[in-house]
Structure 1
Amino acid sequence: WLGGEGDGWERGPYWIDGLLPLAYLLDDQQLKDKVQPWIAWSLSHQAESGYFGPIPFETTPEPEPGLQKTPRRDWWPKMVMLKVLQQYYTATGDERVITLMSNYFRYQLNELPHTPIDHWSLWGNRRAGDNMMVVYWLYNITGEAFLLELAELIQQQAFPWERLFLNQDCYEEKHDPWHYSRVVKRYPYDQAQLDNLCIKQYGSFHTVNLAQGIKKPLIYFQQHPDSLYLRAVKQAFRDIRKYHGQPQGMYGGDEPLHGPAPTQGVELCSVVEMMFSLEKMMAITPEIQFMDHLEKLAFNALPAQIDADFQTRQYMQCANQVEISRRARNFYQDVGHQGTDICYGVLTGYPCCTCNMHQGWPKFTQSLWHATTGNGLAALVYAPSRVKARVGAGEGVEVEIHEQTTYPFSDTITFVLTTPRTVDFPFHLRLPAWCTQAEIRLNGQAWAQQAGNQIVVIDRSWQDQDRLQLILPSAITYSRWMDYSVAIEKGPLLYALKVEAEKKWVENPDHYGNYYELSATSDWNYALIENYLQQPARHFQLQRQAMNDYPWTLEAAPLRITTRAVKLPHWKLYNGMPGPLPWSPPRLQLQGWQLQTVELVPYGCTSLRISEFPTVWFDELEQ
């Protein structure tokens, strides 16, 4: 990707895909300088045929540790670089991007009929929605009809995710281990094999492919607005939740889908790619569940898997993890990675996540604000930010809105408008499904109270320094998971048991590099009281502390919940993980059990944790 014999596949584009938006959002020249050689080489080295990217080798080179030199012609990594160039154009308006994409997409239209999207790797067909997404983006700029023809060709060759999501009668018996990679590999697909693939099967899909592929039906929906595509995506999310779900918003899959146990791994690439898919889908269709789900991932799964200084990360996280150590666990890949999948490092597990994790926060930031019909603005997910936008009829007026909040650690979001003159425009606000009744205040006065799970529109004449306040009250609630375990939630935040830890840095000479381990120094084997779940407001107490600049650590956690629990002596450590969840809830007599106060903190602040709790019922306790 820089013209030499180095990286020629996905890792370089992965890194730039997060670095570029970070550089331009922060207007950081040092970061822009890091990005520029990658952009410049691609823009200045397009072949006459329209091909762009790494120059193919005449002879296969010798491998080097850490470098993926081939396959250089693969369609898949170019999909990532197309996303990079799309963002670069959005930031700079550099017309060379439009020229490169137009030429490349004509090249694809000519080549794909005899060199299909999965000719070099199956990743191309699984992730073809990313290619299609940029084709549509370019069409909205140039209007060239051949782009719609190309999108149809990509749809024809792409993995038929929408069909597979709607498969409800597929065979549930096991096929080959991790059979997604052993069958249905190439276009044209075997129709009988397609009929036997569905989400409910263990091992049916690679989890990162699923995270990326889940948006493809709605990407194509833009050209063919058939309700089937939205129905397929919603069914996929229901099946993921039922058969593989974890309460931080992800699913067990290490690397294939691997069921709902809270000790199954969740790959970091899956987290950031699912976030990106949700960001793209919510821009196409105003489904509140996509926006709520995006916040669930951003405020729980993402910060929990990356160290506070961004120097290490986990390849795999688990909803319940009480020991971070190098040993083989019940993950598909862990033996192949010599037991490093759960360790915090740079190269532990597999290096793709080190390159790809950077897109998480910058792209979430990109998705805070959206333009709307009627020349308005929409705030669809919430975080402290500033946006400049041209709103209103005709040439419009450039306004700035300052979003002031400590959300998700508070319920209140304030928008302060700066405008050179009065301007009429609609302002859209998402009210999450978990909020039973939101309050909207304008310049200190009550404006409306609205039920959650909708988008409300405030369409009015706006003046300089108008203040719009959105209050999203939330209650402490619980959800049910594997073996009737429970997860404690409040608003977009999942809560987990606070587990103290001892940290050990390991100098490791092999190719997995240095890493650190954590061992629990406090008890973790607690069950919550089932009786108390009937009235959470009475038995779970929320406590607040001042918030610092980086709240995602155990020490800095701004919110804490205390409640009473009992220790289960028979629930023990097994192979470095919590043993199988005890079935919930057994009905017990209180005699012989000691109720103890336990502390829960936001999941994103934890490294060791229990977030899926067993429960017990005591006949003598009130509800």
Structure 2
Amino acid sequence: MMRGIRVIGLMVAVLGWGTGVMSAAERPVPVFEELPFGTVRPGGWIQAQLERDAATGVLPDFDKFCTAVQRRVFASKAGAPKGQNSTEYWFYDGAHEGYWMDSLARASILSQDEALLEKAEDFVNYLLESQEENGYLGVYPPELRLSHVGDDEEFCTAGWTYMGLLAWYEGTGDARVLEAVERAMGWYMDHYNRGKQSYFSRPEVPFVSGPVSHGLVLTEVAHTLYRITGNEAYRDYMLWIYEDFEQGNAGGDDIKLKRLLDPTRAATQHGVHWTEQLRIPVWAWYATGDPKYREAAEAAWDKTREALLPSFCVMSDEGVGRERRLPTPETAYEYCDTMELTASALYTAEKTGESRFADLAERCFFNAAQAGRLPDGTANSYFTIDNRYAMPPEPATRFRHNAGHYWYRPVQGPPCCSFLMFRIAPYYTKMMWMKTADGGGLAAVAYGPSRVSTKVNGTGVTIREETDYPFSDTIRFTVEVERPVSFELWLRRPGWARREGEAREALTPEAALLRDRTRAHRASQADMTVTAPDAAIRKDGDYWVVSKQWKSGHTVTVEFSPVVEKALAANGEYALRRGSLVYALSIPAEETCLQVWKTGGAGEVITPGEALGGLEETVIEADPDSRLQSRKYTPKEGAEWTYWIHAVPHGKGARQDFEPVALEGDPLNPWEEPTCGLRGRMVNGAGEEIPLTLVPMGSTILRRTTFPKDNP
């Protein structure tokens, strides 16, 4: 059951509510509330990563190589030449322009890179100039609107674009942008709505292709506009979109209520659809109070847990396919899933106040997302594998799709996974801090180096979170205020930081391995200590709450004491983790250049062979003057990764084979030069105990993340 749910005037367990939008007295009250984008700024290694991505990663040159953002289809209203008469290619270009807008807006504002800010502003102006007098801001010419010919995907093209525009509005205060988005949403609400035209019901065809259901992302625009403006019409429209989808015939329908509420049906379809839509039943529950949405939200997260890999992303080499297989560490995940799962988990943490969702967001961002990209931001992999012994995996029968999807490439095909490499850190940063529902406090929901500046109880407040977390166990909060002010500071208690004997939910693949839906609980010796001079400290659900009258210079210190855990994976092996980090054995690798991406002029890709469905693995000479290259990796000769781990019990008195160790890395670039590790011993094939040091899996390219128990 979801905890932390508060209802005005009613107990949570009330039954028999009807459907539709209920009065404010009957709807559950979120525990926290989002802050506007830009209110939270990154610090430390997160800021350094964003700055590298903006300055020397592929981001500043991305539009030179991605034809989908070059055709400017919002202005031309002309699909790609290869599209012929199909509307699919209007969608393809428009959707990627939307991803580009969102990436540019968020990355430029948080990095404060001047060149990127200028590029983002130019793209904003281009979009605003393409808006028609009637408010329409989309990619289709008039004769193709509302026609539902082929894969007409108005909603998703608009959704991704408008979210980028709203981020630009909140981060810069450009009122033109909010006005444009409201006019644009007005056009959709006038044409697709109750008593008007359905979007997801297309009776002329028996089954509409799965990409159409990406249109549910327009719920996020409606949800965000409701937060910004308070206009309940946007909240109601968010609900109508979900209701219309429920009644429609679009594919990618795992998130439909009838699917979610069927306990025999697992998540099976496209992973990105699943992860980007997980937040919608949660929003619907808090918007209506209808218990069917609460039940659906709980079922969705239960099914998500069953598909989690050791890296804390869902398995998805395109499809989740949970009913046919287990989430073994040899199963790939799509990079897009890391971003969307992180965002959905944080949106759910905001509403429910439950630590387990923020735990998942941290672990997905710190492990799966970092393990699928290069630290310098020059490339990522479309598909990533937890136990990655080669890129691509070998033999060929071990992987689906073409080998190029497993390379590190500056621009993936399709490029959605490349865009999301630049969106995930800004989304994570935005949701690290939230306001309490009553507005009288601030909550550190997800940890990491950051700064939040906002008003609390009418007074300007800035809190600096100084830490190397998750590589450090210490966090120091320093408060600056315009004048002395009383408020509550909420500090999340991670599930892995609970005292001995206190039950905690373990978001691990154990349940998937056992094929059940029960929640696994395990006590640990981990702990969390909060030090706040002259303050009252109490426990409220999954949070420590620090209350006092704050003055500038006041501090709060949090100390974690995580233990090393051996987490059972779906293949019967064990992953080692400590706190939010999953650790892996780094396998020495040989790098091979397969493409060179020239950044001069309009951009040029030098690649061998034909790129028809897959890229030929023909080695070419790397260009030392180009920082952008497509690469594959193979283990160095003599590299060894066949080891067995001691399967010792958890809890008090358990022998620890691995202990944390500090490494001489770079605190601002810890994914390339790790600052922490686990040092211990494993058994090799000869039965010998070998000393080994594991590092965060995000600090590796080739790696082994799970290990079998004692060698028989």
TM-score (norm 1): 0.80
Q: Are positions 1:323 and 2:441 aligned together?
A: no
Q: Are positions 1:515 and 2:630 aligned together?
A: yes
Confirm or deny: 8 A CA contact 1:56 1:72 kept in the other structure: no
**1:287 aligned residue:** 354
Q: Are positions 1:151 and 2:238 aligned together?
A: yes
Provide, for residues 145-183 of structure 1, a one-character-per-residue CA deviation record: whole Å limited to 9, x for no partner. 54344233212222589xxxxxxxxxxxxxxxxxxxxx8
1:78 Cα deviation (Å)? 0.7
CA distance in 1 between partners of 2:259 and 2:295 (Å):
22
Q: Among residues 443, 449, 461, which one is paired with 1:378 in the alignment?
A: 443
**2:167 aligned residue:** 87
Provide, for residues 112-142 of structure 1, a one-character-per-residue CA deviation record: whole Å limited to 9, x for no partner. 2435147697557634443123223323444
Mean alpha-carbon deviation: is it higher for 117-126 or for 254-263? 117-126
**Counterpart AA for 1:377:** L
1:143 Cα deviation (Å)? 4.4
Q: Among residues 411, 420, 439, which one is paired with 1:356 in the alignment?
A: 420
**1:98 aligned residue:** 178
Secondary structure at 2:707's aligned position in 1? coil
CA distance in 1 between partners of 2:482 and 2:416 (Å):
47
Q: Among residues 199, 217, 239, which one is paired with 1:116 in the alignment?
A: 199
Q: Any gaps of 5 or more consecutive residues in structure 1? A: 60-69, 162-182, 569-591, 619-623
CA distance in 2 between partners of 1:90 and 1:302 (Å):
26
Q: Among residues 606, 610, 616, which one is paired with 2:704 in the alignment?
A: 610
Mean alpha-carbon deviation: is it higher for 18-27 or for 79-88? 18-27
**1:595 aligned residue:** 689
**2:512 aligned residue:** none
**Counterpart AA for 1:209:** H
Q: Among residues 308, 311, 330, which one is paired with 1:245 in the alignment?
A: 308
Write the mapping of 1:6-85 to structure 2, written as runs, cut at 5 A: 8-56=93-141, 74-85=154-165
**Counterpart AA for 1:515:** S
**2:59 aligned residue:** none
Q: Are positions 1:131 and 2:221 aligned together?
A: no
Write the mapping of 1:210-289 to structure 2, written as runs, cut at 5 A: 210-242=274-306, 244-258=307-321, 259=325, 260-289=327-356
1:498 Cα deviation (Å)? 2.3
Q: Among residues 529, 532, 538, which one is paired with 1:442 in the alignment?
A: 532
Write the mapping of 1:528-607 to structure 2, written as runs, cut at 5 A: 528-531=645-648, 538-553=656-671, 556-568=673-685, 593-607=687-701
CA distance in 2 between partners of 1:186 and 1:447 (Å):
49
CA, structure 1 residues 264+483, in 2 after alignment: closer, same or farther (shift >3 Å)? closer
**1:173 aligned residue:** none
Identical counterparts, % of pairs: 23
Secondary structure at 1:282's aligned position in 2? helix
Higher relative contact order (CA 8 A, sep 6+): 2
**Counterpart AA for 2:185:** F
CA distance in 2 between partners of 1:328 and 1:539 (Å):
33
Q: Are positions 1:482 and 2:570 aligned together?
A: yes
CA distance in 1 between partners of 2:393 and 2:567 (Å):
32
Confirm or deny: 8 A CA contact 2:441 2:456 kept in the other structure: yes
Q: Are positions 1:185 and 2:251 aligned together?
A: yes
Mean alpha-carbon deviation: is it higher for 244-253 or for 48-57? 48-57
CA, structure 1 residues 197+474, in 2 after alignment: closer, same or farther (shift >3 Å)? closer
CA distance in 2 between partners of 1:368 and 1:421 (Å):
25
**1:66 aligned residue:** none
Q: Are positions 1:200 and 2:266 aligned together?
A: yes
TM-score (norm 2): 0.71
**Counterpart AA for 2:486:** D
**Counterpart AA for 1:413:** I
CA, structure 1 residues 549+564, in 2 after alignment: closer, same or farther (shift >3 Å)? closer
Confirm or deny: 8 A CA contact 1:264 1:330 kept in the other structure: no
CA, structure 1 residues 330+264, in 2 after alignment: closer, same or farther (shift >3 Å)? farther
CA, structure 1 residues 130+75, in 2 after alignment: closer, same or farther (shift >3 Å)? closer
CA distance in 2 between partners of 1:596 and 1:426 (Å):
50
Q: Among residues 467, 472, 493, which one is paired with 1:410 in the alignment?
A: 472
**Counterpart AA for 1:500:** P
Confirm or deny: 8 A CA contact 1:291 1:381 kept in the other structure: yes
Confirm or deny: 8 A CA contact 1:304 1:605 kept in the other structure: yes
Secondary structure at 2:644's aligned position in 1? strand
CA distance in 1 between partners of 2:312 and 2:153 (Å):
35
Confirm or deny: 8 A CA contact 2:539 2:545 kept in the other structure: no
Secondary structure at 1:290's aligned position in 2? helix
1:294 Cα deviation (Å)? 0.5
CA, structure 1 residues 416+375, in 2 after alignment: closer, same or farther (shift >3 Å)? same
CA distance in 1 between partners of 2:167 and 2:201 (Å):
25
Confirm or deny: 8 A CA contact 1:269 1:352 kept in the other structure: yes
CA distance in 2 between partners of 1:118 and 1:368 (Å):
38
1:55 Cα deviation (Å)? 4.8
Mean alpha-carbon deviation: is it higher for 459-468 or for 372-381? 372-381
Confirm or deny: 8 A CA contact 1:206 1:255 kept in the other structure: yes
Mean alpha-carbon deviation: is it higher for 531-540 or for 477-486? 531-540
CA distance in 2 between partners of 1:160 and 1:495 (Å):
44
Secondary structure at 2:557's aligned position in 1? strand
**Counterpart AA for 1:542:** P
Provide, for residues 461-482 of structure 1, a one-character-per-residue CA deviation record: whole Å limited to 9, x for no partner. 0011001111122111111112
CA, structure 1 residues 342+552, in 2 after alignment: closer, same or farther (shift >3 Å)? farther
Secondary structure at 2:552's aligned position in 1? coil
Secondary structure at 2:710's aligned position in 1? strand
CA, structure 1 residues 520+331, in 2 after alignment: closer, same or farther (shift >3 Å)? closer
CA, structure 1 residues 288+523, in 2 after alignment: closer, same or farther (shift >3 Å)? same
Confirm or deny: 8 A CA contact 2:200 2:245 kept in the other structure: yes
CA distance in 1 between partners of 2:243 and 2:228 (Å):
24
Mean alpha-carbon deviation: is it higher for 467-476 or for 16-25? 16-25
Provide, for residues 290-312 of structure 1, a one-character-per-residue CA deviation record: whole Å limited to 9, x for no partner. 10000001111111111111111
Confirm or deny: 8 A CA contact 1:502 1:519 kept in the other structure: yes
CA, structure 1 residues 105+293, in 2 after alignment: closer, same or farther (shift >3 Å)? same
**Counterpart AA for 1:344:** Y
Confirm or deny: 8 A CA contact 2:586 2:701 kept in the other structure: no
CA distance in 2 between partners of 1:186 and 1:262 (Å):
25
**Counterpart AA for 1:108:** Y
**2:364 aligned residue:** 297
Mean alpha-carbon deviation: is it higher for 357-366 or for 84-93? 84-93
Residues matched between the structures, number = 552
Mean alpha-carbon deviation: is it higher for 398-407 or for 141-150? 141-150
CA distance in 2 between partners of 1:123 and 1:98 (Å):
30
CA distance in 2 between partners of 1:504 and 1:609 (Å):
17
Confirm or deny: 8 A CA contact 1:126 1:213 kept in the other structure: no
CA distance in 2 between partners of 1:103 and 1:464 (Å):
43
CA, structure 1 residues 542+298, in 2 after alignment: closer, same or farther (shift >3 Å)? same
**1:175 aligned residue:** none
Q: Any gaps of 5 or more consecutive residues in structure 2? A: 1-71, 81-91, 145-149, 499-526, 596-606, 616-628
CA distance in 1 between partners of 2:318 and 2:406 (Å):
13
Confirm or deny: 8 A CA contact 1:117 1:158 kept in the other structure: yes
1:315 Cα deviation (Å)? 0.5
Secondary structure at 1:426's aligned position in 2? strand
Secondary structure at 1:209's aligned position in 2? helix
CA, structure 1 residues 606+141, in 2 after alignment: closer, same or farther (shift >3 Å)? closer
Q: Among residues 454, 470, 483, which one is paired with 1:421 in the alignment?
A: 483
Q: Are positions 1:471 and 2:556 aligned together?
A: no
**1:585 aligned residue:** none
1:22 Cα deviation (Å)? 1.8
